Structure 1
C-alpha cells in the first residue's frame, strides 16, 4: 500500500489443545521455522518465536493489510497440518481455539524478545495459566475463567 506507514508490534500467545505437552524439543525448531515461513510469506516481520511443550509465543511486526485473526488462522491451520502430515505426534495434533494478542511500543520490543527467548527458564517458575492470567491482568483485558484455555485432561 503506497503511502501507508505503520509500526505495529503484536505478541501472540496460543496453546496446544487441552494444553497437552505435545511440542517436542526434537522438532520444535522445525515447527517454528515453518510458522516463520507462513508469517513471512504474508510479508509480516517475525521478531521472535519460542515456546514450551504446551504453548507458543510469537512477536510480529504486523503489516496493516491482514488482520491478526486471519494471520493466526493461517498460522495455526498451516502448522497443525505440518505437524500432522509429518507424523510428529502419535495422535492428531490440534491447537486450542483462540489466542491472546497484545500490542507493544517500540521501546519495549527488546524486552519482549528476551522474554520470548527465555520461555523455558520462565516456565520453571510459572505455569502457562499463571503466565497468561498475568498478561491479561497487566494489559487490563477483561476475561472470564470459563473461557480461559482449557486445562490438561
Structure 2
C-alpha cells in the first residue's frame, strides 16, 4: 500500500514541577493553553483542546503519523517552558514535571474527553490533581509506583 494513514488520539496530562501553582493568573493560563495548541500544530500533532488549572495541563491531540510520543512531549514542554519564561519573567523558575501520562482515546470518545478537559476548573473544585491522575491511571489499567509519579 503506497499511502500511510494514521489516526491516533492521545489524552496527554502533565503537571508543573512539584505541582507548583505557576499558572494561577487566568490570563497567563489561557495564553499558555493557546501556546500549547500552536506548539502541537507546529509539531504536526494538532491539539483538539487544551485545558487545565494552575498546576497541570490536559491536551487532547492527534499524534502525528511520524512522531514518537516521548519526543513530542519533550518538545512541547521545552518550547512552552521557554515561552513562559520569556512571557512572564517572574516565572523564571518555571518547570514542568519530568514525567507525563498519555492515554489513548477512541474516536467515539473524543467529545467526552474534550468536555472533560474544558471543565477542568469545575472538576478541580472537588478533586485534587493527584486523585484525578490516579483515577486516569487506574481506568487505563496502568501500574505505577507512587514514589516516582510525583516530581
User: TM (normalized to structure 1)?
Assistant: 0.93
Deviation, structure 1 residue 144 = 0.5
- Contact 1:14 1:56 survives alignment (8 Å): yes
Task: Check if 1:89 corresponds to 2:90.
Answer: yes
Partner of residue 70, structure 1:
71
1:127-151 residue CA offsets vs partner (Å, 9 max, x unmatched): 000000000011010000101123x
1:40-88 residue CA offsets vs partner (Å, 9 max, x unmatched): 0122221110010000000001122011111111110100011111225
- Contact 2:11 2:104 survives alignment (8 Å): yes
Residue 102 to residue 146, structure 1, CA distance change in 2 (3 Å):
same
User: TM (normalized to structure 2)?
Assistant: 0.94
- Contact 2:7 2:62 survives alignment (8 Å): yes
Partner of residue 14, structure 1:
14
Name stretches of at least 5 consecutive residues in structure 2 with no aligned partner.
Answer: none
Partner of residue 143, structure 2:
142
Following the alignment from structure 1 to structure 2, what is the Cα–Cα distance between the partners of residues 20 and 64?
33
Higher relative contact order (CA 8 A, sep 6+): 1
Aligned partner of residue 146 in structure 1, secondary structure: helix
1:107-129 residue CA offsets vs partner (Å, 9 max, x unmatched): 11000000000000000110000
Following the alignment from structure 1 to structure 2, what is the Cα–Cα distance between the partners of residues 38 and 87?
18
Following the alignment from structure 2 to structure 1, what is the Cα–Cα distance between the partners of residues 44 and 79?
16
Following the alignment from structure 2 to structure 1, what is the Cα–Cα distance between the partners of residues 149 and 140?
16
Aligned partner of residue 48 in structure 2, secondary structure: strand
The 5-angstrom pairing of residues 37-48 of structure 1 reads 37-48=38-49
